[in-house]
Amino acid sequence: MKKIIVNDETCIGCGACIAIDSEHFDFDSDGRSCVISNENLNSDDLSNAIESCPVAAISIEESECDCDSDCQCEADESCNNECQCSCDGCHCCE
Ligand code: SF4
């Protein structure tokens, strides 16, 4: 499945993607962009957000991660990555 990936090490937290596309992005607790939805990946707002990122931190990639269906983090706030999510851009365990 395809997923939006935000590179945590590259993102500078400028907020441009969030201002342009609040359907897909929000700030995380560290002030960087966090992916909040992987629906509607063909939207113009998403394309504009990707193009507007000043550090090219956003990409859409094929991912093996299936945490959307299997991750238990939402039910357990003390999650210690027990879901064994291997997706680099996943914020589900934060
Ligand atoms: S536009 Fe890029 S640098 Fe700015 S918050 Fe979004 S991902 Fe981070």
Give the count of beta carbons closer than 10 Å to the beta carbon of residue 53: 21
* 44-71 per-position pLDDT tens digit: 999 999 999 999 999 998 765 555 544 5
Contact 4 CB / ligand 1 (< 6 Å) = no
Please choose from 4, 5, 6, 45 the residue to mutate so as to test ligand 1's pocket, defined by most ligand atoms within 8 A of CB: 6
Decide whether any atom of ligand 1 lies within 6 Å of the 33 Cβ.
yes
Residue 66 CA from chain centroid, whole number: 14
pTM of the model: 0.71
Longest dimension (CA), the chain: 37
* Predicted local confidence at residue 61, as pLDDT: 87
Topology, domain 2-75: Alpha-Beta Plaits (3.30.70)
**From CA 67, how far away is CA 12, in angstroms rounded?**
26
Q: Does the pLDDT value for residue 93 go beyond 70?
A: no
Q: What 3-state class would DSSP assign to 74?
A: helix
Task: Confirm or reject: Cβ of 15 under 6 Å from ligand 1.
Answer: yes
In this predicted structure, the answer to whether residue 40 has a pLDDT above a threshold of 60 is yes
